[in-house]
């Protein structure tokens, strides 16, 4: 058995970023930027007014004559001279000659005669050209996950199209004679399969494009046929058939197809059986059949794998500190992941409430858990109130 | 000027949840459940083995005869009697007669003769029918935002279709003679419009469906025509034209169309001008034209509005505590929102680093901010190291 970190390192090593594709800015939210965004305009594009008011010369004294107005988008064509003023609004270009803005609350206007009750300083209430950004500035660097704020900034930099990483295509193959998709007839002794749908949702949440393959029965032909149909994908994920039981056929079926197998068991719970290999150019990740184990392995290995395919580093998920509300026994050699709910205590501390039953068959417990408490190999017993590290599934959106 | 909380309350009051639609489970991730999910099967569907091993009678002594095997999905058709055992695997149905599972590591098998080196207790290593959930159990209640774990649980409960709230359609109307969409020719004195794209991305991130209307020039006809084309939507959001300047036409253009105007200024910075009204059945939210103000108003008002349309409570975003790294001046009567970056200090505390320049025209500052420091009206001056509340834009995905 190897450690989680070593396993993740070996999986990531074999993955390269997908190519770039061009998408309309309106469709780019959440995508990973594949090339830097450089501003094509400056913002503001000229010196503009920061307030509603009047453009004038600060050094003037006495009343000014209002010689025109310049709403945003309609610059004043002339020059502002001594004793003159031009009505402006927030965002209006400052006309030539003027050196400051008197805000309207500080002025009294009668017809075209303006009395300035509080004179501005030179330059006051003017936003200088390029104060936010200048044409040619690198605005956002490749690798950013585009938030709505990024989208706004890219729009403002006058960029209608962006290059983003192609969504990694992840084929998902659930195997087993005993499983049926929801709503399909359930065979005698069978169960409803949940892994393919849960993993497809996880792939989507991580920025990948899932391809759910039809369930493969427990025979070599069915498994090989399904796996080969995924050859054009960026990654093949199987569930089931990665354990050591007599009926675990995935490894042998794919070996016959030329898979280079880097088989291992990982020192973790839940989720010991995990398979990693390569079928030609296609990287393969074999998750356990147990839904809770498959899901946790996906959080720990598939999520970083998709990130690596997206050109990101693919780090381990970052834990947060919490206070555990129950005693925890000492741990054995397998890295344990205790499902827990989270709440904020009155003193503001995050509290982790471990599920009473940690059996890896409890899907309902997983569904209502907000996170998992990390228990490294040989972690000492802890009393209620001790500090633990927690992976926040809720914050990961997983 | 009214408070942020009062404004939000008035906006939410006028909104009702959208209807439900049926979507395939595979498409339901991130959607809001509109009806409870009830299990149609039990999990496990029968007593099953929790391990690879042998089903037998715990009270037996001496060697057993292995009378068959039952891989998962292939239940053993017969009965297990005294002195007998059936080979099982994780998930196999426990055959009639057997009362416990001896795990394979504790057994020695020679042909069909099985020696059990460590006898199980009665019931050991058996997962009981319905231990996870039973048919008829309510699994997930309406109002849940469906995570990949929910999707897995819904699949396991044998439900291929789910009722979710229809995505609220939010029409977005940017107004102004001076603005052009990215890549379009920029008029003399004009700027590139970013609000429509930033808001559309925010609407998507919140679970809504944005409809970007063509930009309306600063005249009543153009604004009225655009707004009326949004009548079938759940909400109309305008940007610009909500201030008090002479060229703010949205309110007057829509008043001519029969809009019942609930106009206000909000005691907040950035973002004072905010308009709320109703054009027939269509609720209307008028955001400022300034992109930073528009975005922050969208976080504070549009996000909860979309949540209300999705049948959720539509609470104010929840702040987290952080330690500010710079002195902050006392605040005036307007609730202030200081853009900041966030980092974790060596002692694990979240630190908020306010942007040096809080000018609301700085889009680039907003784009690289992780959050905003909340400064309530008349908040006292703070020294570096003091505790502040922060809205985490990064965690909100906004």
Count of Cβ atoms closer than 10 Å to residue B204 Cβ? 20
Residue B293 CA to residue B296 CA, distance in Å, equals 5
Does the CB of A289 have a partner CB in chain B at under 8 Å?
Answer: yes
Taking CB atoms and an 8 Å limit, are A193 and B155 in contact across chains? yes
Q: What is the pLDDT along chain B (398 residues), one digit of tens a residue?
A: 789 999 999 999 999 999 999 999 999 999 999 999 999 999 999 999 998 999 999 999 899 999 999 987 889 999 999 999 999 988 899 999 999 999 999 999 999 999 999 889 999 999 999 999 999 999 999 999 999 999 999 999 999 999 999 999 999 999 888 889 999 999 888 899 999 999 999 999 999 999 999 999 888 899 999 999 999 999 999 998 755 454 568 888 988 999 998 877 788 888 778 899 999 999 999 998 889 999 999 999 999 999 999 999 998 888 999 999 999 999 999 999 999 999 999 988 899 999 999 988 899 999 999 999 999 999 999 999 999 999 999 988 89
Supply the pLDDT for residue B249. Answer: 81
Among A228, A231, A297, CA closest to A257: A228
**pLDDT band of A268, cuts 50, 70, 90:** confident
Is B362 close to A245, i.e. CB distance below 8 A? no
Write the pLDDT tens digit of every residue in A42-61.
Answer: 999 999 999 899 999 999 98
Instruction: Indicate whether A324 pLDDT > 60.
Output: yes
Label residues A3-41 b or e (16+ Cβ within 10 Å = b). ebeebbeebbebbebbebeebebbebbbbbbbeebebeb
Contacts of A133 in chain B (CB under 8 A): 363-364
A200 interfacial to chain B (CB closer than 8 Å): yes
Cα B43 from Cα B38, distance rounded (Å): 13
CB contact under 8 A, B159 and A182: yes
Report the distance separating Cα B181 and Cα B126, nearest Å. 64
Which 346-375 residues of chain A touch chain B by CB within 8 A? Answer: 348, 359, 361-367, 369
Instruction: Verify whether the Cβ–Cβ distance A321 to B348 is below 8 Å.
Output: yes
| Confidence grade of residue A218 (pLDDT, cut at 50, 70, 90) | confident
Residue B182 has its nearest CB partner, among A158, A197, A198, at A158
Fold: same for B20-43+132-165 and B320-396: no
Q: Where are the alpha helices (DSSP H) in chain B?
A: 4-13, 148-156, 195-205, 220-228, 250-256, 291-297, 303-309, 363-367, 393-396
What integer best gives the mean pLDDT of chain A? 93
Q: Which of B266, B269, B260, B285 is nearest to B195 (CA)?
A: B285
Query: What is the arithmetic mean of pLDDT over A92-101?
Result: 96
Q: Are residues A126 and A47 in contact, defined by beta-carbon separation less than 8 angstroms? A: yes
- Nearest chain A residue to B321 by CA distance is A348
Query: Which residues on chain A are in Cβ contact (under 8 Å) with B243?
Result: 52, 90
> What is the pTM assigned to this prediction?
0.92
Q: Which residues in chain A are closer than 8 Å to B194, comparing Cβ atoms?
A: 152-153, 155-156
CATH architecture group of domain A4-17+167-309: 3-Layer(aba) Sandwich (3.40)
- CATH fold label, A48-127: Molybdopterin biosynthesis moeA protein; domain 3 (2.170.190)
Contact of B201 with chain A, judged by CB distance below 8 Å, is answered with yes
Chosen for mutation from A156, A240, A322, A323 (greatest number of chain B CBs closer than 10 Å) is A156
Digit-coded pLDDT (tens) for B196-249: 999 999 999 999 999 999 999 888 899 999 999 999 999 999 998 755 454 568
Task: Return the pLDDT at A360.
Answer: 85
Domain spans of chain A, in order of start: 4-17+167-309, 20-38+138-165, 48-127, 320-396
Residue A243 confidence class, pLDDT cut points 50, 70, 90: low
CATH number of B20-43+132-165: 3.90.105.10
CA dihedral B236, B240, B242, B247 (to 10 degrees): -130
Contact yes or no for B157 and A192 at CB 8 A: yes
How much is the average pLDDT of A21-50?
A: 96
Count of A-B CB contacts under 8 Å: 310
Topology of the domain comprising A20-38+138-165:
Molybdopterin biosynthesis moea protein, domain 2 (3.90.105)
Residue to test with chain B: of A23, A73, A214, most B Cβ within 10 A: A73
Least Cα distance to A204 among A62, A398, A5, A10 occurs for: A398
Cβ contacts of A185 within 8 Å, gap of 6 or more: none
Minimal Cα–Cα distance from B27 to chain A, Å? 8
Confidence (pLDDT) at A120: 93
Chain B: residue nearest A394 by CA? Answer: B147
Question: Which contacts (CB < 8 Å, 24+ apart) does range B107-110 have?
Answer: B107/B53, B107/B54, B109/B66
Alpha-carbon torsion (A223, A228, A229, A233), positive or negative: positive
Neighbouring residues of A321: CB distance < 8 A, sequence distance ≥ 6? A350, A387, A388, A389, A390, B348
Q: Across the interface, which of B89, B133, B366 has its CB nearest the CB of A247?
A: B89
Per the CB < 8 Å rule, is A44 touching B295?
no
For residues A101 and A55, the answer to whether their CB atoms sit within 8 Å is yes
- Choose the mutation target among A46, A198, A243 for the interface with B, i.e. most B CBs under 10 Å: A198
Of B152, B157, B201, the CB nearest to A29: B201
Tell me what the mean pLDDT of segment A178-183 comes to: 92
Chain A interface test: which of B42, B88, B159, B201 (most A C-beta within 10 Å): B201
Q: Are B52 and B88 in contact (CB under 8 A)?
A: yes
Cβ of residue A93 closer than 8 Å to a chain B Cβ: yes
Chain B contacts in chain A segment 249-288 (CB below 8 A): none
Q: Give this complex's ipTM.
A: 0.91
Going by pLDDT thresholds of 50, 70 and 90, the confidence category of residue A246 is: very low
The reply to whether residue A245 touches residue B89, judged by beta carbons under 8 angstroms, is yes
Interchain CB distance below 8 Å, B178 and A212: no
The span from the CA of B284 to the CA of B262, in Å, is 10
* pLDDT, tens only, A137-147: 999 999 999 99
Q: Does B133 sit within 8 Å of A197, measured CB to CB?
A: no
Chain B CA closest to residue A392: B395
User: Is a pLDDT exceeding 60 seen at residue A244?
Assistant: no
What is the reported pLDDT for A94? Answer: 96
The yes/no answer on whether domain A320-396 falls in CATH 3.40.50.970 is no
Q: Which residue of A has its CA nearest to B45?
A: A191
């Amino acid at each position: 058995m190897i450690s989680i970190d070593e396993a993740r390192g070996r999986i990531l090593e074999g993955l390269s970023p997908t190519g770039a594709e061009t998408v309309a800015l309106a469709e780019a939210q959440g995508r990973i930027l594949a090339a830097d965004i450089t501003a094509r305009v400056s913002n503001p594009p000229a010196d503009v007014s920061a307030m509603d008011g009047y453009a004038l010369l600060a050094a003037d004294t006495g009343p000014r004559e209002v010689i025109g107005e310049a709403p945003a988008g309609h610059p004043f064509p002339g020059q502002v001279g001594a004793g003159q003023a031009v009505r402006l609004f927030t965002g209006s270009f400052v006309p030539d000659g003027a050196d400051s803005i008197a805000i309207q609350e500080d002025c009294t206007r009668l017809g075209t005669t303006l009395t300035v009750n509080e004179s501005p300083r030179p330059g006051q209430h003017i936003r200088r050209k390029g104060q936010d950004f200048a044409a040619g500035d690198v605005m956002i660097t490749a690798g950013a996950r585009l938030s709505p704020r990024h989208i706004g900034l890219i729009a403002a930099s006058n960029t209608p199209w962006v290059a983003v990483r192609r969504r990694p295509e992840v084929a998902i193959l659930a195997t087993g004679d005993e499983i049926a998709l929801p709503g399909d007839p359930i065979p005698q002794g069978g169960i409803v399969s949940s892994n393919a749908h849960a993993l497809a949702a996880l792939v989507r949440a991580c920025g990948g494009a899932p391809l759910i393959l039809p369930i493969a029965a427990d025979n070599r032909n069915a498994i090989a046929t399904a796996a080969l149909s995924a050859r054009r994908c960026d990654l093949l994920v199987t569930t089931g058939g990665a354990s050591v039981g007599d009926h675990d056929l995935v490894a042998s079926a794919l070996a016959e197809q030329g898979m280079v197998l880097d088989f291992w068991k990982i020192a973790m719970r839940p989720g010991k059986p995990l398979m990693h290999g390569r079928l030609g150019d296609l990287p393969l990740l074999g998750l356990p059949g147990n839904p809770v184990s498959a899901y946790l392995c996906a959080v720990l290995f598939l999520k970083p794998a998709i990130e690596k395919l997206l050109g990101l580093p693919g780090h381990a998920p970052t834990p947060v500190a919490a206070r555990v509300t129950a005693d925890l026994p000492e741990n054995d050699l397998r890295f344990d992941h205790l499902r827990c709910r989270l709440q904020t205590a009155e003193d503001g501390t995050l509290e982790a409430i471990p599920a009473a039953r940690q059996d890896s068959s409890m899907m309902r417990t997983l569904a209502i858990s907000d996170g998992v408490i990390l228990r490294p190999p040989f972690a000492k017993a802890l009393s209620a109130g001790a500090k633990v590290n927690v992976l926040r599934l809720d914050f990961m959106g997983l």
